[in-house]
Structure 1
Amino acid sequence: MHIYFLQHAPHFGPARLADWLTSMGHSFNVCRLYADEVPPRPGDFDALIVLGGPEQIVAHGWSKREQHLVERTLKSSKPIMGLGYGAELIAEALGAIVSLNTHGEFGWHAVRRNEQGDLDLPERFEAFLWHRRIFGLPEGAISIGASEASPLQGFTWDGARVVAMHCHLEATQEWVRDIIEREPRSLATPGPWVQSRDEMLEDSRRFAQQAAVLDRIMIDWLRL
């Protein structure tokens, strides 16, 4: 399969996702929206992944084109996945409300699987989170699970053809270091679910364990 990534900032790249696709024999392209690259047409890909982005994304000329592409892909039969900000775009396109949460979630947090969910997820797993906004559950969608701070960490729609998650399962240590350096304001306000830089990076095993969860989700998603 050929996958297209929509990237909103230099430090919110595909990271481990690129390695996973290559290892499984898939090809991919990256549309760097922040560099004013033109979004692909639906005929240019077999599946679409809308990546995350900074807390503050200023509307650009590409915003409407991206929104239109997301909506067209949702109406098609092609798989689409959103991570972080990308998940918010999909939620909005499906009619859900996106709003600020009382507290942000930055760092490693436990996610409890929804037992009625349709993804092959562990009952409980740690995921790297970097968000302050939350979204509602679109009509017809199924929750993937919840954390202590957020009752909805993501959802599937149309039989898991559509996956939207706050969880940044694509994160590597280098990816996290880059985000911390470029987004210091996100960590400036302490809170019960805001970790320090050292807490985020101290245990490399977390990244390997999260990679196993990513593997299960990607196999489920692209099997469609």
Structure 2
Amino acid sequence: MRVNVLQHVSDEGPGSVMNWAHDHGAIVTVYHPNDFQKLPTVDETDLLVVLGCPASPNDSDQWIKDERKLIKELMDAHKPMLGMCFGAQQMAKILGAEVKDAPAKEVGWLEVTKQSDVIPDLPATVTPLHWHQQQFTIPEGGQLLYSSKYLREQAFIYQDYVIGLQFHLEPLIDNVREMVANDGDYADGSVLNQSGQEIIDHGVPAENQLVMNQLLDYLVKQA
């Protein structure tokens, strides 16, 4: 299995995705499209993971458009894919949904509540890391998976091969420290009112890796 990861900033890596991939004996290649303008092909991809980014899918950078072109080609081929934050927004935009400013900036740990049983055995609540101030709307034909108290559209599934998460299940504790060390000021003005140190001290719930495993297992099994 060839897992291709699109990583856009140095402090937002694949984390728990890499743990899952190694456990499944997958070959993982990480691309940095905004730095090197290189992307995998459809034939080289069995599973695509698109990570977060401070940019917006509404921006006009060519690499953002090129990335969406690849995602669209993979969708047309029904290749499984998982998007986090910016990655999920890219996928939602391709599917005709809107990407816009969220009603509140969410940075820190916040519980989300399950809204659908389409993926079996997902927990009723999860506490992921939030790091965003934009959101997607649910694309036509998609189903809402999770909501938070501040934002209804926290996760969606489209058919059985596209999952988008506005939140982050991928960071491990070292990743959290890295995000805070390099971009901790982004927490200023968040409705969650958590300092960088509080975000680190919270720790990563062990359940987050398990939920990531469930999501990726589901996608791969449907392929």
Aligned partner of 1:94 in structure 2 is 95
For the residues of structure 2 that align with 1:115 and 1:155, how far apart are their CA atoms?
9
Q: TM-score scaled by structure 2?
A: 0.92
Report the secondary structure of 1:39's partner residue.
coil
Number of equivalenced pairs: 221
Say which is worse superposed, 74-83 or 118-127, in terms of deviation: 118-127
Per the alignment, residue 107 of structure 1 pairs with 108
Q: Which runs of 4+ in 1 moved over 4 A?
A: 55-59
| Structure 1 unaligned regions, length at least 5 | none
1:1-40 correspondence runs (5 A):
1-40=1-40
Counterpart contact for 1:103–1:193, Cα < 8 Å: no
Q: Deviations over 1:86-130 (max 9, x none)?
A: 000001000001111121111111111013443541011111111
TM-score of the pair, normalised by structure 1: 0.91
Closer, same or farther in 2 for the Cα pair 1:132/1:194, shift >3 Å? farther
Say what the alpha-carbon RMSD is for the aligned residues: 1.8
Change (3 A) 1:56 1:47: closer
After superposition, the Cα gap between the structure-2 partners of 1:68 and 1:175, relative to the gap in structure 1 and judged at 3 Å, is: same
In structure 1, what is the equivalent of residue 167 of structure 2? 167
3-state SS, counterpart of residue 145 of structure 1: strand
Distance 1:22 1:212 in 2: 14
In the alignment, which residue of structure 1 is the partner of 2:42?
Answer: 42
Counterpart secondary structure, 2:40: coil
Q: Measured at CA, do residues 86 and 6 of structure 1 come closer, stay the same or move farther in structure 2, by a change above 3 Å?
A: same
Matches of 1:119 and 1:164, distance apart in 2: 17
Equivalents in 2 of 1:138, 1:122: separation in Å?
23
* Structure 2 unmatched ranges of 5 or more: none
- Matches of 1:34 and 1:147 in 2, distance apart? 30
SS, match of residue 83 in structure 2: strand
User: Where does 1:127-142 land on structure 2 (aligned, <5 Å)?
Assistant: 127-142=128-143
Verify the 8 A CA contact 2:127 2:205 in the aligned structure 1. Answer: no
Q: Percent identity?
A: 26
Q: Distance in 1 between matches of 2:165 and 2:121?
A: 14
Q: How far apart are residue 37 of structure 1 and its match?
A: 3.9
Residue 125 of structure 2 corresponds to 124
1:156 corresponds to 2:154? no
CA–CA distance in structure 2, aligned partners of residues 91 and 68 of structure 1: 13
CA distance in 2, matches of 1:32, 1:175: 17
- State the match for 1:182 in structure 2: 182
What letter matches 2:17 in structure 1?
Answer: L
- Residues 54 and 183 of structure 1 are in contact (CA less than 8 Å); yes or no, is this contact kept in structure 2? no
Task: Give me the whole-angstrom Cα distance separating, in 2, the residues matched to 1:10 and 1:183.
Answer: 11
